[in-house]
């Protein structure tokens, strides 16, 4: 049996009605171990104007590199209250912010570990499909050997790596939909 898949459609401008009940700006309950980090940034369109109606979803492993999912069958630690799911929307200035723990490395192809990263979906009015991207961490030696980053031409890799700010444990990462600094989006 082969059924044709349901096409994606835009979330439209009023998604907060349906998606706010499961809004999750903090992915790490107090009992979850790991290095706390806040990631903030903006979503900008092709005119460099803020997108005030975008919603981002985060999917990540915990600090031990474990996904809270039955297909991660490695013998690793998993806190019972860790889901690894975040959902934040942008404000009128196109800004978003969430707090989490830095994930540990997770397996990639060829039995090599992937550098710590967050999987990100971006939805908004104007996009009939979600955009898929990743957030990597700065000053992370494993980035040099990472599977996902290695798929990307070197000049564009920086769009996937959050930047340090003057505040400890606060990183900045922006979503540039178009233009010279266009964020790398994946065919996932």
Partner 1 sequence: MSASPTRTDANPPQIVGYRRPAPGAQPNYLHPAYVSSIKRAPTKPLIFLPHTLSEITGPTFKKDVISAKALDLTKQGRGEALGERIIVSGRVLDEHGRAAPHTLIEIWQANAAGRYLHKWDQHDAPLDPNFTGVGQAFTDDEGHYRFLTVRPGAYPWKNHRNAWRPAHIHFSIFGPAFATRLVTQMYFPGDPLLKSDPIFNGTADEEARNRLVSIFDWDTTVPETALGFKFDIVLRGRDATPMET
Among positions 69-98, residues that touch partner 1 (CB under 8 A) are: 69-76, 78, 80, 83-85
Q: How far apart are the first and last CA of the chain?
A: 24
Which of the residues 92 through 151 are near partner 1 (CB under 8 A)?
Answer: 106-111, 114, 117, 119, 121, 123-132, 147-148, 151
66 near 14, Cβ under 8 Å? no
> x/- binding map, residues 1-40, to partner 1, per CB under 8 A?
xxxxxxxxxxxxxxxxxxx-xx------------------
Kindly state the smallest distance separating residue 139's Cβ from partner 1, in Å: 21
Give the nearer residue to partner 1 in terms of CB position, either 30 or 109. 109
By CB under 8 A, the count of residues binding partner 1 is: 79
Give the nearer residue to partner 1 in terms of CB position, either 127 or 142. 127
SS3 assignment, position 34: coil
- Vertex 97, ends 91 and 101: CA angle to 5°? 160
Kindly state the smallest distance separating residue 166's Cβ from partner 1, in Å: 30
Region near partner 1 per CB under 8 A, out of 34-42, 136-144, 163-171, 177-185: 177-185
Residue burial 59-75, b: 16+ Cβ < 10 Å; e: rest = bbbbbbbbbbeeeeeee
28 near 101, Cβ under 8 Å? yes
Q: Which of 26, 34, 50, 59 binds partner 1 (CB under 8 A)?
A: 59
d(CA 70, CA 44): 36
Q: Which of 56, 115, 171, 177 binds partner 1 (CB under 8 A)?
A: 177
Give the nearer residue to partner 1 in terms of CB position, either 119 or 171. 119
| Those residues with Cβ within 8 angstroms of residue 110's Cβ, 6 or more apart along the chain or in another chain | none
102 near 143, Cβ under 8 Å? no
């Amino acid at each position: 049996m082969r059924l044709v898949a349901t096409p994606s459609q835009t979330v439209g401008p009023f998604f907060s009605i349906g998606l706010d009940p499961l809004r999750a700006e903090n992915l790490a309950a107090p009992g979850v171990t790991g290095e706390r980090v806040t990631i903030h940034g903006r979503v900008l369109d092709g005119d460099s104007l803020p997108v005030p109606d975008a919603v981002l979803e985060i999917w990540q492993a915990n600090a031990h590199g474990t996904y809270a999912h039955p297909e991660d069958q490695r013998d690793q630690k998993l806190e019972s209250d860790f889901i690894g799911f975040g959902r934040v929307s942008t404000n009128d200035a196109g800004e978003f912010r969430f707090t989490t723990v830095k994930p540990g490395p997770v397996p990639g192809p060829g039995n090599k570990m992937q550098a710590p990263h967050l999987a990100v979906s971006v939805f908004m009015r104007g996009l009939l499909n979600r955009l898929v991207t990743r957030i990597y961490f700065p000053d992370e030696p494993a980035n040099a050997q990472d599977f996902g980053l290695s798929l990307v031409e070197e000049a564009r890799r920086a769009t996937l790596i959050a930047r340090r700010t003057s505040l400890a444990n606060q990183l900045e990462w922006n979503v540039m939909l178009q233009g010279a600094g266009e964020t790398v989006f994946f065919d996932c």
